[in-house]
Amino acid sequence: MDHLDELSVEELQDALDNVDGKKPTQRLLAAISYKNGVTQTELAEWYDVQRRTIYNWLTRLDTDESPEQAVSDDKRTGRKRKLSDTQQEEFEDTVHDPPSEVGIDAPAWTPALVQEYLEETYDVEYSIPSCRRLLKEAGLSYQKPRRKAAEADENEQEAFYDELKKSGGRWTPR
């Protein structure tokens, strides 16, 4: 065997008891199977991955690290947010009020309006989908018109539709 000469099946099974997550578990199970005579090609078919992936899983275990560490991925932090925590809180407070509260002549917040507001206020650029995500994170939901019920009060219906027309069916507080 080309790989895992330094590790026994028992060590791999012990490591299996100490890992969390699907990928580390898969990697250890593949290593145990490999130690028991299953070929890399067969493992690739079992896990529906490329043979090269199985090779990479096995070579991860050919290190001085413990098997638990070798099969686990490093933490991925992702991209740093453009708005600071304070700016994020200010923004969320702002979008819970109508845009007119901050001097914008619009009946409701839209992703395009948020994009413009963020650029002018905080000098950061966001895409429209990211502005949608920010609105959702702020606790707003997209409202769309519903059919009117026959028994509803006609004055209330008219008031609702007037308000809906003003907002254009856009993002409003829940």
Answer yes or no: is 124 within a domain. yes
Please list, in sequence order, all residues whose beta carbon lies within 8 angstroms of the beta carbon of residue 110, skipping any fewer than 6 positions away.
Answer: 168, 170, 171
Same domain? For 63 and 104 the reply is no
What is the span of the domain harbouring residue 56? 9-71
pLDDT for res 155: 83
What pLDDT tens digit does each residue of the chain (174 aa) get? 467 888 888 999 998 898 888 999 999 999 999 999 999 999 999 999 999 999 999 998 888 888 888 888 888 788 888 999 999 999 999 999 999 999 999 888 999 999 999 999 999 999 999 999 999 999 988 777 666 666 677 788 788 778 777 776 666 665
- How far is CA 151 from its chain centroid? 42
Number of domains comprising the chain: 2
Same domain, 160 and 100: yes
pLDDT given for residue 122 in this prediction: 94
pTM of the model: 0.47
Burial code (b: 16+ CB inside 10 Å, e: under 16) for 53-77 equals bbeebbebbeeeeebbebbbeeeee
Rounded Cα distance between 65 and 91, Å, is 45
